Amino acid sequence: MPSRPRILLSRRWPEQVEALLEEGYEVARNVPDRPMSAADMREALRTVDAFCPTVTDRVDAGVLGASSRKARIIANYGVGFEHIDLAAARRAGIVVTNTPDVLTDCTADLALALILSTARGVVRGDRLVRAGDWAGWSPASIYGNRVSGKALGLVGFGRIARAVARRAVHGFSMRVLVYTPRPPGDEQARSLGVEICASLDELLARSVVVSLHCPVTPETAGIIGRAQLARMRRGAILINTARGALVDENALTEALLSGRLAGAGLDVYAHEPEVPEALRQMDQVVLLPHLGSATVETREAMGMRVKKNLDRFFAGREPPDRVA
């Protein structure tokens, strides 16, 4: 009987998925469940047939170019793959896959959760009650801002942004504006209930809530900097469930301190797990620890999607979610 392919999971996955993988693979685990060092990854690629990293592992050219490498596929547990050097993978003849679709709804749900909790003071209110500082109902305590019917600007319009748009249009009667370099045609935009903005500046100037939904690429890194924040409406809020590197965190801090922005809801940061101290001090900011896909259903589905890619690859077929 041919030996089972040896795969390495860089972090611990849902138990059920790990058990299913055991049926077809020899599964190695990174037992400490901490981000792997470049040296550990290089060593791993010499001994396993497949490496399954996550966003916390920087799979760069140094790792992928390891000598006497055995691994032939990097099957990422996650949809974003900016932490993997695709050009280096291609040069080394390594296939790379990701896990699209399965985290769309949960990430969109979380974007809505951040919009609501930031605009309506949900976390601030919770802190007040827990601290025992609530003096009872009063007409003027913790004013939030209405969400229903307001203008929501989406930067990027992939799967997750479209799922946010559906929720915002149908659930909250929001006016949804979109900026993306490759916009859908007029008819499609109309059927989705969104309006396309010709430029990022236009979207920023018209939106009360701006939510980021593009991948980090050399073109989008720092797409929300000082100049863009200055174009946002006074009292607007910024939501980021995509990637921290899209935003200049110092400029965001200044915009919040100056009162130009009323708040921010962040799930991702430029240098995770570091979160700037100044942001942590602000009551008008909701800070989450990269929870976009963190539901039982989605984390299991992500694992199953990786398994599907591995199964196809080791059966000698094209994996469905190949990105390199």
Residues of this chain that interact with ligand 8YV (CB under 6 A) are: 54-55, 77-80, 103, 292-293
The two beta strands, 175-179 and 50-52, are unpaired
Chain centroid, CA 87 distance in Å: 22
* Smallest separation, CB 11 to ligand 8YV (Å): 8
Determine contact, residues 150/168, Cβ cutoff 8 Å.
no
Helix axes of 296-314 and 15-24: crossing angle, nearest 10 degrees: 10
Q: Rounded to whole angstroms, how far apart are CA atoms 270 and 2?
A: 44
- Residue 83 is among the residues annotated as catalytic for this protein: no
Q: Which is nearer to ligand 8YV, 249 or 267 (CB)?
A: 267
Residue whose C-beta lies closest to ligand 8YV:
78
Cβ at position 78, least distance to ligand 8YV in Å? 3
State which residue, 121 or 265, has the beta carbon closest to ligand 8YV. 265
- Catalytic entry in 11, 167, 213, 243: 243
**Residue 151: helix, strand or coil by DSSP?**
strand
Q: Is 42 a catalytic residue?
A: no
Identity of the residue, 47 or 295, whose beta carbon is nearer to ligand 8YV in the bound complex: 295
Closest CB to ligand 8YV among residues 9, 204? 9
Q: Which of 272, 300, 312, 322 is catalytic?
A: 272
The yes-or-no answer on residue 277 being catalytic is no
Torsion angles phi and psi, residue 93, rounded to 5: 70, 30
Rounded alpha-carbon distances, angstroms, from residue 136 to 63, 123, 124, 141, 142? 58, 17, 15, 9, 12
Q: Which of the residues are catalytic?
A: 243, 272, 290
